[in-house]
């Protein structure tokens, strides 16, 4: 994970380069099939929490500070979207305690900040993708079509992996004026996975 000074510099660079920090998507994260809680090492726990929760906190801290300065200067409106997960809404036997706790924490942080800064015209939401077509899911992608349907059907009623484009399109919507009344929510992008549980 980048240091706080690196994050501060990143936000400053974005504001200077693009003329203001109007939107932010906090999307960095790590995933591991960790040990069960009683076997979890403190180092593994700390690594996952540092990236998936503390990283979101530090990014938001400096993004919000920049947005508050921009709000004073230009009367603009702003939006932050955090990357959570469907496991931030439930328990999971496949993702491990630190990852699940971090994603619950990211949703809680999103909601807390959303109610704190809405009067400053900063909307804050999260997206909660289900199993997504990434390098992490490469083992699933190597299955035959029928095997993939069987592997995913118990998780996702559409029996498909979520495509990255579905996530980015939802993030773009949440940053747009069309989502001006959406604040403090974690939007599942999961083909109905959470609805099925």
Q: Which residues are catalytic?
A: 99
* DSSP-derived 3-state class of residue 189: strand
CB atoms within 10 A of CB 132: 17
1 Cβ contact partners less than 8 Å away, ≥ 6 residues apart: 28, 50, 51, 54, 55
Q: What's the CA gap between 29 and 90, in Å, rounded? A: 18
Q: What's the CA gap between 17 and 144, in Å, rounded? A: 45
Handedness of CA 91, 95, 97, 102 (dihedral sign): negative
Nearest 5 degrees, angle CA 142-CA 90-CA 157? 45
The first and second tokens of residue 136, run together, are: 């992490």
Q: Which residue, chain included where needed, has tokens 């996530």? A: 167
Q: Is 131 in contact with 162 (CB distance < 8 Å)?
A: yes
Nearest 5 degrees, angle CA 133-CA 137-CA 139? 135
């Amino acid at each position: 994970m980048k240091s706080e000074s690196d994050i501060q510099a990143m936000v400053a660079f974005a504001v200077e380069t693009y003329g203001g920090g109007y939107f932010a998507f906090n999307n960095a994260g790590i995933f591991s099939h960790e040990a069960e809680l009683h076997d979890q090492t403190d180092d593994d726990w700390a690594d996952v929490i540092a990236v998936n929760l503390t990283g979101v906190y530090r990014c938001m801290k400096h993004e919000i500070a920049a947005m508050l300065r921009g709000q004073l200067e230009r009367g603009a409106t702003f939006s932050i979207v955090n990357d959570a997960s469907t496991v931030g809404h439930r328990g999971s036997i496949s993702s491990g305690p630190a990852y699940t706790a971090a994603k619950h924490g990211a949703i809680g942080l999103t909601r807390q900040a959303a109610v704190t800064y809405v009067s400053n015209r900063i909307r804050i939401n999260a997206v909660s993708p289900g199993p997504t077509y990434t390098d992490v899911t490469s083992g699933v992608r190597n299955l035959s079509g029928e095997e993939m349907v069987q592997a995913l059907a118990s998780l996702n009623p559409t029996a498909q992996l979520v495509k990255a484009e579905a996530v980015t399109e939802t993030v773009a919507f949440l940053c747009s004026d069309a989502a001006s009344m959406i604040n403090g929510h974690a939007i599942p992008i999961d083909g109905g996975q959470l609805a099925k549980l």
